[in-house]
């Protein structure tokens, strides 16, 4: 089949699924990967620094929710596989669909320039080892969990500072035994790291500092992976479903204050909940303490907003990531404070030869989410789907933002929050049929 020439940036889960869909449609494409391997974040110790996996990391989403729809995780995998198993799974996905040969490894995109109409349109890519290359369409799948975001406080801290991005991987030879350690943040990584470092065998004194606090949800409920029970319905108002879980949460998993966390400044599901079975136990066993926000640094002393201060040898920022596109000129595409307006988290209005994949915080799972996005992108590239007008895209971006994030605490962490089940239903039942009708009309008009 003839069609546009397509460049994909990245071979993590987003770039892999995109490449598979493009191959399915028989489209001409090249996938550029700056690393020597697939998997991105899930390639522990990735030589290009794009993995934020730490040695002990297990997925928080159970394999039942994580699996790609057309490639289930192996039966013998545990409910919450280790990151090495996720990497093996992605390797076998690449092999099963023969994607590897379509990927140009160690050939990252250094710069992407959009060509004007007078230059024939499309994109000119400056690549790591094959010089300048030209394509009609660009698909961006470079991930958003690799550029660490640090807590910005006045003063200077003179102890060891690290980010969860670099916590216990082959690049961090630190000995974290017998130390006074402060962990900033209360997301999933912060909880994992706090649990690990507060184990009595390491003889550490560990404190966790949280600005907003968090609702903690267990990974198992009634003996089953808890996310097996999570399924939002597109037929009941989202606000009512939130109300229901807000009532249920304290009854099933208790309140954060019960085991020593500060009172959250939000209701359940107004911020990303943290999944951890062990965190409440560590806090409840006195191995771990929690404090509120930090006011300032002073040498090794940390001053907290409640007026207290303590000395620490190590501060670990588990404070999330920036959305960064180093290959774009900033005035063309950027995401200040993690805001980037994308139609269906895919299209940037005004740039009709560009698509994004994987730029969402999708609850409870990202893998089938990117699969769903790439299905739409491939249909678009094959001429079967057409996005709406720019004005309509802008209107729908506002509407979707209202639906998915208006109730959330307004932080860079939540700018691209959405619910997978509502999103998938919207794309499958409404957006693809509507886009196919638009494409058919455009075809008739042409």
Ligand X SMILES: Cc1cc2nc3c(=O)[nH]c(=O)nc-3n(C[C@H](O)[C@H](O)[C@H](O)COP(=O)(O)OP(=O)(O)OC[C@H]3O[C@@H](n4cnc5c(N)ncnc54)[C@H](O)[C@@H]3O)c2cc1C
Strand partners, 297: 302
Strand pairing class (180-184; 220-221):
unpaired
User: How near is the Cβ of 237 to ligand X at its closest, in Å?
Assistant: 25
Mind giving me the DSSP string for 238-306? Answer: HHHHHHHHHHHHHHHH--GGGGTPPPPSS-TTSSPPEE-SHHHHHHHTTSEEEE--EEEEEBTEEEETT
Residue 443 burial by Cβ neighbours in a 10 Å radius (0-12, 13-18, 19+): exposed
CA angle at 142 for the pair 148 and 65, rounded to the nearest 5°:
90
User: How near is the Cβ of 338 to ligand X at its closest, in Å?
Assistant: 14
Site for ligand X (CB under 6 A): which residue of 85, 338, 365, 374? 365
> Radius of gyration of the chain from Cα atoms?
23
Quick check: 168 binds ligand X (CB under 6 A)? no
Residue ranges in 97-116 that form contacts with ligand X under rule CB under 6 A: 108-109
By C-beta, is 93 or 327 nearer to ligand X? 327
H helix count then E strand count, the chain: 10, 24
Residue ranges in 244-303 that form contacts with ligand X under rule CB under 6 A: none
User: How near is the Cβ of 254 to ligand X at its closest, in Å?
Assistant: 23
By C-beta, is 32 or 404 nearer to ligand X? 32
Site for ligand X (CB under 6 A): which residue of 6, 7, 12, 271? 12
Strand partners, 264: none
Are the beta carbons of 360 and 345 closer than 8 angstroms? yes
- x/- map, 46-65, ligand X, by CB under 6 A: --x-x-xx---x-xxx----
User: How near is the Cβ of 91 to ligand X at its closest, in Å?
Assistant: 13
- In the block, tokens 């063309």 appear at 332
Quick check: 213 binds ligand X (CB under 6 A)? no
In the Cβ-directed half-sphere of 159, how many Cα atoms lie within 13 Å?
A: 20
User: How near is the Cβ of 420 to ligand X at its closest, in Å?
Assistant: 9
Kindly list the distances between the CA atom of residue 118 and the CA atoms of 114, 121, 318, in Å, as whole numbers in the listed order: 12, 7, 47
Are the beta carbons of 5 and 45 closer than 8 angstroms? no
Segment contacting ligand X (CB under 6 A): 92-100, 254-262, 361-369, 428-436?
A: 361-369
Quick check: 9 binds ligand X (CB under 6 A)? yes
Site for ligand X (CB under 6 A): which residue of 187, 256, 358, 435? 358
Quick check: 35 binds ligand X (CB under 6 A)? yes
By C-beta, is 141 or 290 nearer to ligand X? 141
Quick check: 349 binds ligand X (CB under 6 A)? no
Residue ranges in 396-435 that form contacts with ligand X under rule CB under 6 A: none
Site for ligand X (CB under 6 A): which residue of 6, 14, 27, 216? 14
- In the block, tokens 């108002």 appear at 237
In the complex, the residues that contact ligand X under the rule CB under 6 A are 9-15, 32-35, 40-42, 48, 50, 52-53, 57, 59-61, 66, 108-109, 141-143, 145-146, 189, 327, 358, 365-367
């Amino acid at each position: 089949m003839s069609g546009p020439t397509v460049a994909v940036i990245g071979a993590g889960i987003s770039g892999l699924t995109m490449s598979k869909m493009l191959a399915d449609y028989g489209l001409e494409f090249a996938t550029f990967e700056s690393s020597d391997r697939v998997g991105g974040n899930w390639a522990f110790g990735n030589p290009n620094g794009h993995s934020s996996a730490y040695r002990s990391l297990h997925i928080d989403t159970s394999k039942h929710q994580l699996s790609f729809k057309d490639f289930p995780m192996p039966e013998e995998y545990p409910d919450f596989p280790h990151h090495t198993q996720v990497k093996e799974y992605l390797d076998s996905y690449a092999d099963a669909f023969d994607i590897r040969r379509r990927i140009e490894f160690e050939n990252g995109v250094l710069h992407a320039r959009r060509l004007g109409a007078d230059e024939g349109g499309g994109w000119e890519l400056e690549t790591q080892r094959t010089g300048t290359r030209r394509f009609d369409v660009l698909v961006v799948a470079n991930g958003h969990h690799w550029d660490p975001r640090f807590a910005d406080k006045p003063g200077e801290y003179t102890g060891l500072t690290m980010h969860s991005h670099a916590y216990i991987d082959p690049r961090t030879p630190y000995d974290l035994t017998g130390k006074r350690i402060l962990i900033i943040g209360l997301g999933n990584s912060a909880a994992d790291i706090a649990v690990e470092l507060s184990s009595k065998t390491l003889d550490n004194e560990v404190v966790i500092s949280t600005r907003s606090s968090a609702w903690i949800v267990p990974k198992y409920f009634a003996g089953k992976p808890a996310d097996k029970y999570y399924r939002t319905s597109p037929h009941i108002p989202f606000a009512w479903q939130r109300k229901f879980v807000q009532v249920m949460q304290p009854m099933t998993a208790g309140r954060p204050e019960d085991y020593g966390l500060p009172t959250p400044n939000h209701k359940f599901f107004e911020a990303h909940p943290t999944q951890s079975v062990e965190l409440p136990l560590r806090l409840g066993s006195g191995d771990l303490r929690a404090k509120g926000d930090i006011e300032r640094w002073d040498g090794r002393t940390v001053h907290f907003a409640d007026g207290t201060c303590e000395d620490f040898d190590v501060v670990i920022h588990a404070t999330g990531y920036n959305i960064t596109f180093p290959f774009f000129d900033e005035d063309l595409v950027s995401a200040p404070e993690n805001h980037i307006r994308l139609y269906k988290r895919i299209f940037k209005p005004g740039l009709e030869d560009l698509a994004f994949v994987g730029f969402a915080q999708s609850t409870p799972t990202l893998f089938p989410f990117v699969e769903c996005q790439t299905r739409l992108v491939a249909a678009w590239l094959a001429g079967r789907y057409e996005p709406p007008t720019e004005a309509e895209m802008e209107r729908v971006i506002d509407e979707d933002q209202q639906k998915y994030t208006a109730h959330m605490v307004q932080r860079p962490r939540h700018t691209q929050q959405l619910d997978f089940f509502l999103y998938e239903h919207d794309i499958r039942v409404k957006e693809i049929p509507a886009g196919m009708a638009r494409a058919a009309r455009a075809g008739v008009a042409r």
